[in-house]
Structure 1
Amino acid sequence: MAVSHNSFRTAILPFLWFALAVDVVQIAVAKLGFSPGMAVLLLTAVILGSTINIPLYRVESQADLIDDFTSFWLRQFWGIPLRKVRRSTVVALNVGGGLIPLVVALYQFTRADPLFIVLVTAIVSLVSYYGAKVVPGIGIQMSPLLAPLTAALSAIVIAGVHAAPVAFAGGVLGTLIGADLLHLKEIQAMTPGVLSIGGAGVFDGIALCGLFALLLT
């Protein structure tokens, strides 16, 4: 039975994407002082870890069954009491998109000047905080290149030839602080259920920021 060229291309495409991802990660991770073998191990850990969320804490709250305006109108003008429903939000840390990039970023404090990392982290945190937007029912939205470009340019200016580890660490930590942690209360108030930090996909904004910042430097 003959196999069409389109079917062959469709079948082989995932393997080509994986091979490309391995090459990109090897190039990037080499700038962080890791071997090619460690790059493959990290990529595998990120992919597998993206399915695992570590619960950190739970937030309990109460909400009206209908919107605030209608609820106020019915209570004030009609005297109809409305029952509130309890809802809870579990804040969790995703292993692949949050924990692993965070550990690798903290390791860079042993390879680069900690002051440089702190400065780049502060800059990226500020830019990420004002560049991120909380969307009800979805979470945080931000331009995917905003934080990486900020991290890369800041690291080049501040750290010079040692920009790579500074850009990665500052990009990861700055995105985590500015886009996620500083907006946490807003998201908790809007999103009942499980709120996963770094869990929006295999390469969440945190991990993707660090990878892009490395390649840009």
Structure 2
Amino acid sequence: MNPYGTGAVWWANIDFKDGAGERKKFLVLLNEIVEPADFFVAALTTSQGAKRYSGETTAACGCPACQCYRIEPKEEKCFPITTWVQFDNAYPLRREKLDSMQRAGDAGFLQMLAADRIRAVLKCALKSPDLAGKHSAQVSRALKALNAPKAQPPLPPSPVARLKAKFDGHAPECQRMFGELLKRTANELASILTEKTPPHEGFVDEAHTALELLSAECQCTKAS
């Protein structure tokens, strides 16, 4: 969970300079910072959207004007009542400013929106005339990053591959003796260790035992 990632929800005490002082507001980060000079596009939220967006409440995405995205009660834990993400009330926010507010006790991370909702919010935001030509590049880049295929983690090495790594640490003479212990020719061993031929059941355990015997006796300087 990345508190500075796209779709992160924060609370913040904000003074709108209207004489009312600071008010606790919730905001959604519509992107994450890639370069040091980047900034967050922070969209404020409101629970008063039924009045403010009276012509845009038939769908979650406020088409056709797309000034907002509506989140229904309890769709997200941090929003127990209907909440509108306001694209017409979005502003640039520097990471250092957010961190400063957090240290002062004037801001805090709440949660990440659900993955599907983050994508829906960004798609809606990109239709918004309020973001067009101003912050749409940052939002578009964030959506592209979310939709990019995730790199698959490498598979762990197979038991035979781990065995081969130990085998390769021995000199040729030790490798020959290893084959004799297992009653295998060099070609048979090579075929198994390169996984061209499947080993018989119990081979890996037998091979590890043979390597332990060799390692205890051999003078091989290459052995690890």
TM-score range, shorter chain: under 0.3
Q: Please state which structure has a larger fraction of its residues in helix.
A: 1
Highest relative contact order (Cα 8 Å, sep 6+), 1 or 2? 1
Structure number with greater Rg is 2
